[in-house]
Amino acid sequence: MLARALPFSMSFVTRGLTRPHLVSPTQRASTKVPRQPALRTFTSNTTRPRTGVRPFWSNLRQGQKQQRGYRQPFNYNRFRATRSGFRKWASHPHFYYHVAGIGGFVGGVYVYNLEEVPVSHRRRFNIVSPETEAKTGQMMYEQTLQEYGRQILPASHPKSRMVQRVLNRLIPHSGLESEKWEVHVINDDMKNAFVIPGGKVFVFSGILDVCQGDDGLAAVLGHEIAHNVAHHAAERMSQSNFLLAFAVIGSLLLGIDAGFGNLFVDYAFMRPGSRAQESEADYIGLLMMAESCYNPEAAMELWARMEKEEQGAPPQFLSTHPSNHNRLEKIREWLPEADMKREEGDCGGVGGYASDFRSAFQRSRW
């Protein structure tokens, strides 16, 4: 940089020494000698030294980014560019026709794929076919076996036999008899249980102590089976695809940062939807266990014990779920209906809700 600056300074000196008599005072006063630009470093890639050595504060910042999980701020340049593009589109003479066309198409797709959940009769959006749900369930099943395969208790184990015994009483009242049901008890203290689409049941041994018998276990299994009865897995996949498209469109048209859009979708739509599904599974599972001749009041006792076990914090399989207090209040409201369902049934036949399950399961959505 110094060598590059020397020719300029020498040329000015040479001009001043060799030709002083040609410059008048008036010309000298009106003539402005260009100022040599100051030498600056670390302002751009072209002005940085080629040695590759960075100052200490630069290395420190890099280390802080790696150690603290530094997150880049929102891309404001992209926001400005997208906002400029949106303004150009908004100034188009047919802008409102475009918006109406897009809105009509999205609304038509949404309305066309609305369906009714069995038993609860809630209207919901679902674009995932039973075949896709089954394939997804098979993938989840293989991944779960790969993760917990060595901890699975044999079918002859007393805990496995207990789960199988309760499941055998619940399945006839679920409408899912055609599924290939399999029981897997994982030898782990975790208080968790789930049923994968396709009839694959996984129960962690830690939750059996909280159940304190067949009635409590029936409340847990009834809740998890109800997720399959209502096809909540397909509903979640449908919501994810639809809301992801909504977030992408919002990012492109309005210049909303993708990270903020995903966060908004999660808290505004996904989590409330998950809580609605959990409450719905509580309702369906409660009626199912009552029709299977289990005491529905055991469900309230179970959730009360779970709340005490976790000291107010939601257990793992209740994440993004309603609070235990709200759950208990809802079950208390549904208990009269569950008791009536238990009294009307002969505990060996198939009640009205079981036929409702079957008709919903056999009905094609396509």
Instruction: Tell me the CA distances in angstroms from 174 to 50, 81, 249, 286, one per residue in order.
Output: 72, 54, 40, 12
Which listed residue (179, 224, 235, 291) is catalytic?
Answer: 224
**Which residue carries 């309230």 as its tokens?**
300
In whole angstroms, what is the distance from residue 86 CA to residue 16 CA?
58
pLDDT of res. 12: 43
**Which of 201-210, 211-220, 342-351, 356-365 shows the lowest mean pLDDT across its residues?**
356-365
DSSP track, 4-21: HHHHHHHHHHHHHHH-GG
Indicate the average pLDDT of the chain.
75
pLDDT of res. 223: 95
| In the chain, where the domains are located | 137-361
Q: Is the pLDDT of residue 47 over 70?
A: no
Max avg pLDDT among 88-92, 106-110, 141-145, 271-275: 141-145
Q: Is the pLDDT of residue 70 over 70?
A: no
In whole angstroms, what is the distance from residue 20 CA to residue 112 CA?
90
Q: Which residues does 219 contact at the CB level (< 8 Å), separation at least 6?
A: 211, 285, 286, 289, 294, 298, 299, 302
HEC secondary structure over 18-74: HCHHHCCHHHHHHCCCCCCCCCCCCCCCCCCCCCCCCCHHHHHHHHHHHHCCCCCCC
Instruction: Tell me the CA distances in angstroms from 300 to 134, 293, 296, 317, 319, one per residue in order.
Output: 32, 16, 8, 17, 18
In whole angstroms, what is the distance from residue 181 CA to residue 310 CA?
30
Q: Which of 329, 334, 230 is nearest to 278 (CA)?
A: 230
In whole angstroms, what is the distance from residue 262 CA to residue 98 CA?
25
At 260, list the tokens: 């903020």
**Is 147 designated active site?**
no
Return the higher-pLDDT residue of 183 and 270: 183
At 94, list the tokens: 């047919």
Within the chain, strands assigned E span 114-116, 123-125, 182-186, 193-196, 200-204
- Return the amino acid letter for 142: E
Q: Is the pLDDT of residue 10 over 90?
A: no
Sign of the CA dihedral 61, 62, 65, 68? negative
Mind listing the pLDDT tens digit for each residue in 189-238? Answer: 999 999 999 999 999 999 999 999 999 999 999 999 999 999 999 998 88
Sign of the CA dihedral 81, 82, 87, 93? positive
Mind listing the pLDDT tens digit for each residue in 297-323? Answer: 999 999 888 877 766 565 554 556 777
Radius of gyration of the CA atoms of the chain, in A: 34
Mind listing the pLDDT tens digit for each residue in 127-169? Answer: 999 999 999 999 999 999 999 999 999 999 999 999 999 999 9
The runs of H, that is alpha helices, within 149-181 are 158-170
Return the higher-pLDDT residue of 263 and 162: 162
Instruction: Tell me the CA distances in angstroms from 100 to 104, 108, 249, one per residue in order.
Output: 6, 12, 15
Measured in degrees and rounded to the nearest 5, phi and psi for residue 88 equal: -65, -40
Q: Are 309 and 315 in contact (CB under 8 A)?
A: yes
